[in-house]
Amino acid sequence: SQQGEEDPQALSIQEGENATMNCSYKTSINNLQWYRQNSGRGLVHLILIRSNEREKHSGRLRVTLDTSKKSSSLLITASRAADTASYFCATDAQAGNNRKLIWGLGTSLAVNP
């Protein structure tokens, strides 16, 4: 499995429901970032959570980080059809003296009206 591995790979929910996506990683990190990608478009940065933070909020988004389990979750509350997109986590990973941003494969979210 890869660093920054999201699950589920795909998620389909009804409008108004909450959506939860998870990201697992293997090495120590400086921070973890979540991005959204609409079909055929570039990625948009959503939230950055540092390794010493446990939870962060931005509007309807809530991100948690558990460094002991090497995992993070992204919760979207009261989802809307416009939230339909792919969501990627990226870990700012430390490998010796090098820092590297490692991307996951993404979770494809479909919000049905």
Q: What are phi and psi of 35, to 5 degrees?
A: -130, 155
Nearer to other proteins, 43 or 111 (CB): 43
**How large is the C-alpha radius of gyration of the chain?**
14
Q: Are 36 and 44 in contact (CB under 8 A)?
A: yes
| By CB under 8 A, residue 48 contacts other proteins | yes
Stretch in the footprint of other proteins (CB under 8 A) among 16-24, 41-49, 64-72, 76-84? 41-49
Q: Is 40 in the site for other proteins (CB under 8 A)?
A: yes
Site for other proteins, residues 73 to 92, rule: CB under 8 A: 88, 92
Piece of 12-20, 34-42, 61-69, 70-78 that binds other proteins (CB under 8 A)? 34-42
Decide: 33 and 92 in contact? Cβ < 8 Å: yes
- Interface contacts to other proteins, rule CB under 8 A: 2, 4, 30, 33, 40-45, 48, 88, 92, 99, 101, 103-106
